[in-house]
Structure 1
Amino acid sequence: MKNIPALLALVVVTLLFNSCAKDDFPVPAASTVSKFTFIIDNDSYIPAKATFTNKSIVPATVGKAYYTWNFGDGDRSTDENPVHTFLQPGTFTVKLSVKTDISQEISESTQTIAIIDPNASGIQTYFTDGSLVYKGFLNGTAPAFSALPIGPFSASYGMAIDTLNSKLYISDSDANIIYRYDTETGDIITFRSGLSSPDGLAIDFKTGKLYWDTDSGIQRTDLSSTNPTDVEDFVTGQDNDPEGVSIDAVHNKLYWINYDGGLWSINLDGTAKTELLPTPEGASTLVVGNKLYFDYYEASGDIHLKSTDLSGGNMSTVTTGISKIVFGLGYEATNKKIYWGDRSAGKIMRANLDGSGIETWYTKAGSSPRAIVFGKKK
């Protein structure tokens, strides 16, 4: 008899719950979601055949689905999994529209595809998204990048280019490796290994040395050495996580910024280590003429790009509102513009050195641009 009240209460609660579930809190019907993937042959050079795979979610309750593809070059398809050949170079926005006959839903999704002209010319441009390295050209047309046949890397943040010897150096922070890629032959080797989370890279061409940051300092090595363990400690005792090394070749100095605070410089002979500013938190520095550029963490989702003179004075703001800490500032000397990656937005931005003329130069959803470097003019 003691269990009767409890049993009655359970029945009442169950009835009430079922009543509420049916009358007051209806479960929404599953929705249609447009999704697709693609692969491209011929390394994305024209003519490039793209094979699309429809990954859309279409619940049984919504009825039959009808698919419409717009490839962005004037052609369309109603196949579920079409194959399309791009005959012209450029950047194309491919859109998949899914319409259902019972629920009358329409769901759309887009992706950007870059198709490369094999005869394209301009200034060779490289950027890394953490996994792959992409190559394109800076010229008068919209930028189009294709992935180099190297990688994927674990966590690539930094790059440095030696245009004289056609070598691109690529850091992999998680693998503790710096790779060297030959931009003419396509060969890639492990240049240095057993490191401590290398990120930013910079070359001193006067002495033929490569510099990089670690978790607690700066290291360097001779570019001519083929020994993967040939490493020299240059700066030690930096507990705030150094990032973003850059070289001032005129005054023979190296600069870096600490992820947890501090903008520093040191002479390349190892003397005069100086904290220029104690507060900036960031991951990139860049010397252009008599100016030092660096990113500055102001707040989450609001990273600033700042500039000072080479002694850390006369700080000014170039731009604000960058989505994430910047890993890699690039300077293109012909047009005198500074470039940076807005990682969460999947964009490469650029501006004049005084901060004017800010524009989006390249966009690819999910690309997370980091280091960007400029090579030879082809």
Structure 2
Amino acid sequence: MKNLIYIIAILLTVGMFQSCSDDDFPVPPASTVPEFAFVIDNDEFAPATVTFTNNSIVPGNVGTATYYWNFGDGESTSEENPTYLYTESGAYTVNLVVTTSESLEINEITKTVVIKDPNATGVPIYFTDGAQVYQGLINTQAPIFTTVNGVVAQSSYGMVIDNVNSKLYISDYGADKIYRSNLDGSNFEEFRTGVDQPNGMTIDYEENQIYWDTSSGIQRGNIDDTDVNQVEDFVTGQSNDPDGLSIDLVNRKLYWVNYNGGVWVKNLDGTGESELIPVIEGGSMLVIGDRIFYDEYVASGDVRLKSADLDGTNISTIAVNIGRVVYGIGYDANENKIYWGDRSTDVMMRANLDGSSPEAWFTHSADTRGIVIGELE
């Protein structure tokens, strides 16, 4: 009898929930989702025509959809799939608003369309957000970055420019690879495979060698050797994880900083390996003249950019309160400024070499890592 009562109670409970679900809590209709894609002709140089494809999702029960486009230069349209001619270069904020007649929704999406200046000159600058590489120019205009087409990575933290051969090298920590391409992204290829979690890289032009870090040391490879397996161990037994590295070409020395502690140096002939500054935890290293520049993790939310003489003495602080470990310090020799990325705010900063005149130079939608700067065009 108890079992029968229990079964009846269960059936009544299920029926009540079904009744409430059907009558009192109707499932709301699906919402409208605005979305669009675009293609830019003329290799994205002004004047350029942009073809917009409206990919918005509009459920059948929301009524008629109306589309309103704002092209970011004061012009607009209500066409569903418009084309638009941009005659001037610039970064344009394009906004699509979708309204519906029955559900009375107003939803919108915004994307940036970058039209490049065919006559623009300046110092080329690159960075990666891990998956894509971006290129811009340092000049008197506001920074405009565009994607370097053809370069794809899983999780990139570091890059280096070969200014002699006009090549870009990209390390891929996630794929255990180093890639190489032309500066425009063409001829993208695997340079080395099976390397162990590479991040930082630096080039020795005298010996035609490129150096990169691993999880426990530093390796190098000949730039002209196309064998993806050609590697040579240069530093071993570094259990505290080398990351950023840079070469002093004048004195023929390699400097690096470890993620888990210490700034180190070693002669490029393989002698004289020593720790210059103990304890320091960081991700980037750059030699500029007679100083080294590196980041130091002090506490969560407090990473500091510092510099020191080549022997590790005379340490000074360039910047404080950087949110996360820095990956990639760039140097613009033309303006004598240093660049770095704050991966907590997605802001690329710059300042004079002594830390004066700091400014937020560029904001991205994701990380700004692997910053490298080329020569004046």
Shift of 1:271: 3.0
Q: Which residue of 2 aligns with 1:292?
A: 292
> 1:225 deviation in Å?
4.3
CA contact 1:293–1:305 (8 Å) conserved in 2: no
Match of 2:118 in 1: 118
Q: 1:127 to 1:308 in 2, by over 3 A?
A: closer
Structure-1 residue corresponding to 2:315: 314
Q: Structure 2: how far apart are the matches of 1:208 and 1:357?
A: 37
Counterpart residue number, 2:374: 375
- The answer on whether the counterparts of 1:97 and 1:107 sit within 8 Å (CA) in structure 2 is yes
Map residues 64-83 of structure 1 onto 2, 5 A cutoff.
64-83=64-83
Query: Equivalent residue for 1:86?
Result: 86
Q: 1:4 to 1:117 in 2, by over 3 A?
A: same
1:107 CA displacement: 2.0
In 2, the alpha carbon distance for the partners of 1:88 and 1:191 equals 38
Match of 1:259 in 2: 259
Tell me if 1:334 matches 2:339: no
Instruction: Determine the C-alpha separation between the residues in 2 that align with 1:60 and 1:29.
Output: 9
Native 8 Å contact 2:347 2:364 kept in 1? yes
Q: 1:345, 1:365 within 8 Å by CA — same for their partners in 2?
A: no
Give, in angstroms, the shift of residue 89 of structure 1.
0.8
- The answer (yes or no) to whether the contact 1:124–1:136 under 8 Å persists in 2 is yes
SS at match of 1:6: helix
How many Å separate the matches in 2 of 1:275 and 1:375?
Answer: 30
- Does 1:157 find its partner at 2:136? no
RMSD: 3.2
Question: Residue type of the partner of 1:95?
Answer: N
- Structure 1 residue 9 and structure 2 residue 9: aligned? yes
Q: 1:28 to 1:338 in 2, by over 3 A?
A: farther
CA drift of 1:209 comes to 2.6
* 2:172 paired residue number: 172
Distance 1:198 1:124, change over 3 A: same
Distance of aligned partners of 1:52 and 1:347 in 2 relative to their CA distance in 1, 3 Å threshold: farther
- Tell me how far 1:227 sits from its aligned partner: 4.5
TM-score, normalization: structure 1?
A: 0.85
Task: Summarize deviations over 1:259-303 as a string: whole Å, max 9, x none.
Answer: 334333323333333334454433212223444333344566x25
Matches of 1:124 and 1:308 in 2, distance apart?
24
For residues 231 and 23 of structure 1, do their structure 2 counterparts lie closer, same or farther at Cα, with a shift above 3 Å needed?
same
Deviations 1:101-126 (A, max 9, x none): 33433222211222111221111222
Q: Which amino acid aligns with 2:53?
A: T
Distance of 2:141 and 2:88 partners within structure 1: 13
Q: Which moved more, 1:149-158 or 1:194-203?
A: 149-158
Q: 1:24 to 1:249 in 2, by over 3 A?
A: farther
- The answer to whether the 8 Å contact 1:166/1:183 transfers is yes
The answer (yes or no) to whether the contact 2:86–2:115 under 8 Å persists in 1 is yes
Q: Provide, for residues 111-152 of structure 1, a one-character-per-residue CA deviation record: whole Å limited to 9, x for no partner.
A: 122211122111122223333333322111122233334332
Per the alignment, in what secondary structure is the counterpart of residue 319 of structure 2? strand
Unaligned runs of 5+ in 1: none
CA contact 1:112–1:365 (8 Å) conserved in 2: no
Q: CA deviation at 1:355?
A: 3.2
The alignment status of 1:106 with 2:120, answered yes or no, reads no
Q: Give 1:295's aligned amino acid.
A: D
* Residue identity opposite 2:245 in structure 1: V
Counting only pairs closer than 5 Å after superposition, residues 1-378 of structure 1 correspond to structure 2 as 1-14=1-14, 17=17, 30-183=30-183, 186-298=186-298, 302=301, 304-310=303-309, 311=312, 314=315, 316=317, 318-322=319-323, 324-343=324-343, 345-366=345-366, 368-378=367-377
Deviations 1:219-273 (A, max 9, x none): 1234354554432211001223221111233443322222334333323333333
Partner SS state of residue 3, structure 1 = helix
Q: 2:172 & 2:194 partners in 1: Cα distance?
A: 11
CA contact (8 A) 2:131 2:153 kept: yes
Change (3 A) 1:69 1:210: same
The answer to whether the 8 A contact 1:244-1:257 is kept is: yes
State the TM-score, normalized to the length of structure 2: 0.85
Aligned partner of 2:338: which letter? I
- In structure 2, the gaps of 5 or more residues are none
- Determine the C-alpha separation between the residues in 2 that align with 1:158 and 1:54: 36
- Describe the shift of the 1:12–1:189 C-alpha distance in structure 2 as closer, same or farther (beyond 3 A): closer
**2: CA distance between counterparts of 1:4 and 1:96?**
60
Deviation at 1:201, TM superposition (A): 0.9
